[in-house]
């Protein structure tokens, strides 16, 4: 399977998606019910919502890491639950909030992990793999950092390394859970600006969950706003602002989105 690039192509879709967790004793914790959304090629979408509304759970469900309580996730026309891991990971890459990486591993070695679906059973890195790895490192602005140890990098450089690893996998859909949460303001803007350029130049599809409403409203092509009560508002930043829901959910006497 291949993702056909183009702004009109829908590559990831949630259909009547209910998300949450199955608890002990047969109980079910629903975070959101019957959500419908589409992520298309060439789009940067920011997923926002109050704490505890299910943003991370939705990201994991769309990535196929967590089963939906009901409904389905369609990836490039196929139900993601029926796809094998290598097949899925060549289309979709995910960067989660929780990451465990040792400090004494190089940038090149981390990014090369994105090629594991293309190497033989010994994990041999061929010349064509090296070219893909080098290209990914160059795209995120870390050319010359190949031999730098991960532990010596700044937080922004570490985040770029993880993005490069995903790009090296040749996945055209990127899901990122709070990728700028631990960064300073310049790095937050820089990472988000890079992701925006990536979608518009190369037709990647990028979904980013974030609490940074100001950055999301300035940079995103679309906003997915989770509203408590099993609703999701989808629209351009202007449409979401005009809806009044941002003021209802996040506004106070000091902050207004009107």
Q: What's residue 224's pLDDT?
A: 97
Q: Do 186 and 82 lie in a common domain? A: yes
Which residues touch 57 (CB under 8 Å, ≥6 apart)? 19, 20, 21, 31, 66
Q: What's residue 61's pLDDT?
A: 96
Q: Do 197 and 81 lie in a common domain? A: yes
Q: Do 203 and 228 lie in a common domain? A: yes
| Boundary-marking domain end, from 170, 188, 216 | 170
Q: Do 195 and 250 lie in a common domain? A: yes
Alpha carbon 69 to its chain centroid, in Å, reads 21
Which range marks the domain in which residue 122 is found? 98-170
Domain tally, the chain: 2
| Boundary-marking domain end, from 119, 151, 170 | 170
| Boundary-marking domain end, from 170, 199, 232 | 170
Taking the CA atoms of residue 216, residue 53, residue 18 and residue 65 in that order, the dihedral angle to the nearest 10 degrees is 70
Helix, strand or coil for residue 39? strand
Give CA–CA dist 230/25, Å, rounded: 24
Q: Is residue 110 part of a domain?
A: yes
Q: Do 184 and 202 lie in a common domain? A: yes
Q: Which residues of 92-115 are buried (b: 16+ CB within 10 A; e: fewer)?
A: bbbbbeeeeeeeeebbbbbbbebb
Residues composing the chain: 258
Residue pair 125/131 in contact by the 8 Å Cβ criterion: no
Q: Do 154 and 190 lie in a common domain? A: no
Residue pair 251/257 in contact by the 8 Å Cβ criterion: yes
Residue stretches of the chain with pLDDT short of 50? 1-8
Q: Is residue 1 part of a domain?
A: no
pLDDT in tens, 145-202: 999 999 999 989 999 999 999 999 988 899 999 998 888 999 999 999 999 998 988 8
User: For position 42, which CATH number holds?
Assistant: 3.40.50.300
Give CA–CA dist 211/214, Å, rounded: 9
Residue 134 tokens, joined? 């080098």
Residue pair 212/185 in contact by the 8 Å Cβ criterion: no
Q: Is residue 113 part of a domain?
A: yes
Q: Do 78 and 203 lie in a common domain? A: yes
Q: Is residue 3 part of a domain?
A: no
Q: What's residue 234's pLDDT?
A: 95
Q: Is residue 4 part of a domain?
A: no
Q: How many C-beta atoms surround the C-beta of residue 135 within 10 A?
A: 14
């Amino acid at each position: 399977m291949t993702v056909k690039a183009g702004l009109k192509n829908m590559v990831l879709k949630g259909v009547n998606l209910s998300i949450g967790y199955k608890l002990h004793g047969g109980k079910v914790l629903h975070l959101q019910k019957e959500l419908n959304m589409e992520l298309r090629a060439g789009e940067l979408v920011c997923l926002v919502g109050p704490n505890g509304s299910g943003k991370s759970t939705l990201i994991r469900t769309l990535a196929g890491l967590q089963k939906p309580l009901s409904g389905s996730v369609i990836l490039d026309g196929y139900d993601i639950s029926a796809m094998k891991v290598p097949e899925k990971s060549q289309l979709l890459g995910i960067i989660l909030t929780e990451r465990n990486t040792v400090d004494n591993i190089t940038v090149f070695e981390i990014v090369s992990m994105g090629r594991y679906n293309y190497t033989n059973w010994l994990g041999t890195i061929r010349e064509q793999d090296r070219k893909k790895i080098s290209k990914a490192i160059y795209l995120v602005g870390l050319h010359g950092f190949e031999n730098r140890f991960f532990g010596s990098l700044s937080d922004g450089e570490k985040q770029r390394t993880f993005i490069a690893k995903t790009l090296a996998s040749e996945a055209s859909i990127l899901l990122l859970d709070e990728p700028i949460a631990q960064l300073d303001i310049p790095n937050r803007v820089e990472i988000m600006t890079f992701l925006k350029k990536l979608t518009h130049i190369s037709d990647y599809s990028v979904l980013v969950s974030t609490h940074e409403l100001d950055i999301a409203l300035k940079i995103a092509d679309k906003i997915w706003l989770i509203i408590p009560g099993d609703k999701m508002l989808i629209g351009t930043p202007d449409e979401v602002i005009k809806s009044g829901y941002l003021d209802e959910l996040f506004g106070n006497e000091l902050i207004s989105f009107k």
